[in-house]
Structures are given as C-alpha cells and as structure tokens.
Amino acid sequence: MTVLVVAASLLVGVSLGALGGGGSILTVPILVYLAGQDTKAAITTSLFVVGVTSLAALVPHARAHRIRWRTGLLFGGFSMAGAYGGGRLAAYVPGTVLLVAFALMMLATAAAMLRKPRPGREKARGDRADLPLKHIAAEGLAVGAVTGLVGSGGGFLVVPALAVLGGLPMGVAVGTSLLVIGMNSFAGLAGHLSGVAIDWRLALTVTAVAVVGSLVGGRLAGRIPRDVLRRVFGWFVVAMGAFVLAQQVDTAVWIHPATWAVLGAVVGGTATAWLCRSWKESTAGP
C-alpha cells in the first residue's frame, strides 16, 4: 500500500465528514487508479469503506444536532431496498458502463447543487422538521437504486435530494445524509458480495484511515457557512465527475469534432439559461 493511497483515504473521510458525501466518488477512483483494483472489486470495497466511515462521521453531527432522524431512517430504509436491487443488477452491467454512468450522474447532481436557490425558498422549506412520507419514499427508492447500481453510498445524490428537493438546511442535509449513506452502503454491499470478493486487508486499512479523516471533517462542517458548503460540494463533484469521465472515454472521442460541438452546445445553452435567469432576477420587482 502506497503513501498516496493512505493520504487519499484520509481525504475520503474528511469529505464525508464535512460534505456528507463524496466518499465513493473518491474511493472508487482511488481503488481503481492507485490501488490497481478492477472496477467491480473497487465498487464493492468502496461500499464497505464508505458505510463504516459514514457511521463514524455521524457522531459529531449527532452531537451538534444536525440530523433529522425520522427523515434519515425512512429515507435510508427505502434507499436500502433500491440499493440492494441495484447491487444485484450491477453484476450484469460492464464496469466501464458503470463508471461512465457514475460520472454523468455526478455532473448532473453538481449542476443542481450549484444553481442559486430561489430567494426565500430554502428558508421557508428548511424550517420544516421532516419531509412528507411520499417524497421520502419516492426519492429514497430512486436514489437507492442508482447508488446500489454504481457502487456509491449516495451522498452525491442524497445531499441534493435533502437540500434542493427536500429544502433542509445544508448543514442538516449533510448530517442526515451520513445516516442514509451508511444504510445504503451496507445494503448495496450485500448485493455486490454475491458475485465479488473483497481484499479485506486493503479494505480495513483504507477504512481505518478514512474514519480518522471523517472525525476531522465532522468538526469542520459546523464552521462552514451553508452557502459556501453547497458551492464547495458542487464544484468538488464537478471535478471528480470530469476526472472519472475523462479516464473512461477514449482519446479519439475527445478529439472528434462532434464531441466538441455537443460540449459547446451544452455549455452555450447552460450559459444562456444562467444569463436569462440572472436578468429576470435583476429586473423582477421586490
């Protein structure tokens, strides 16, 4: 095991503790590109690492009262059902397809996190104690199925689901997501273990280092303003999604004119939409 793997594992824990996500986003690339595991073994191992680390990271958030227990337990329960099914289905999907899907979902999630909330919306919705059961059920099953399929604890989807769709304050969404991630990870792990073996020496070493990082990250989370936390999480996911996607897509695809035409259209459309929204907000009356 290299020093680089250990250092990166520490970052996994800090990310989970501070941002309520990003554990599997980092762990899978670490295990694939630094530890030399194949994709499916890395995905399975990451579920164990992230599951244990997220539960450790839960402690400082619980002490600071940044967890909605009812919402987290219900969301996690529905997610576990979807995660187990997704984990079983993953055995029939090629590893490259899983990583590309993983990267695309990261980028879509980041876009949702980086969008500026409508004035007053987050405050009005964030004051509620818990989300409606029907919303928890629908979002939990969907997030669980996706995270089980791609081998993720789901923080990169759970945090936006709780903060953007559910309207929880960002700090509370981060803390609550850790409970959901732990439940999701172990359910997804059960599904993956039916067809993949884990290198337990590597898994336990990475987990131990990540747990230390998670305790540090949990202390940092309460000191970061929620708007800053939202932006940091969004750009972090953008960077990791772009990295994973770049590693999986053949060089010939990147240099093809059609690729740049599509990217140009997407960037141009996004910029136009942002400018239009900014103009409307600046011209709207109080």
Residue pair 181/21 in contact (Cβ under 8 Å)? The answer is yes
Closest to 172 in 3D by CA, of 72, 28, 91 = 72
**pLDDT per residue as tens digits for the range 219-236:** 776 677 767 776 777 787
Residue pair 200/55 in contact (Cβ under 8 Å)? The answer is no
Q: How much is the pLDDT for 106?
A: 73
Residue pair 107/241 in contact (Cβ under 8 Å)? The answer is yes
pTM listed for this prediction: 0.69
Q: How much is the pLDDT for 246?
A: 78
C-alpha 135/C-alpha 78 separation (Å) is 11
For residue 126, what pLDDT band results from cuts at 50, 70 and 90? Answer: very low
Q: How much is the pLDDT for 243?
A: 78
Most confident of 87-96, 192-201, 247-256: 192-201
217-221, 241-245, 259-263, range with the lowest pLDDT: 259-263
- Residue boundaries of the structural domains of the chain: 3-249, 252-286
Would you call 49 exposed, middle or buried from its count of C-beta atoms within 10 A (0-12, 13-18, 19+)?
buried
Mean of all residue pLDDT scores within the chain: 76
Residue pair 79/183 in contact (Cβ under 8 Å)? The answer is yes
Q: Is the pLDDT of residue 281 over 50?
A: yes
C-alpha 23/C-alpha 71 separation (Å) is 21
48-57, 183-192, 245-254, range with the lowest pLDDT: 245-254
**pLDDT per residue as tens digits for the range 142-183:** 878 877 776 666 677 788 778 776 778 878 888 888 888 888
Percent of the chain with pLDDT strictly greater than 70: 73
Q: How much is the pLDDT for 212?
A: 92
80-89, 194-203, 227-236, 255-264, range with the lowest pLDDT: 255-264
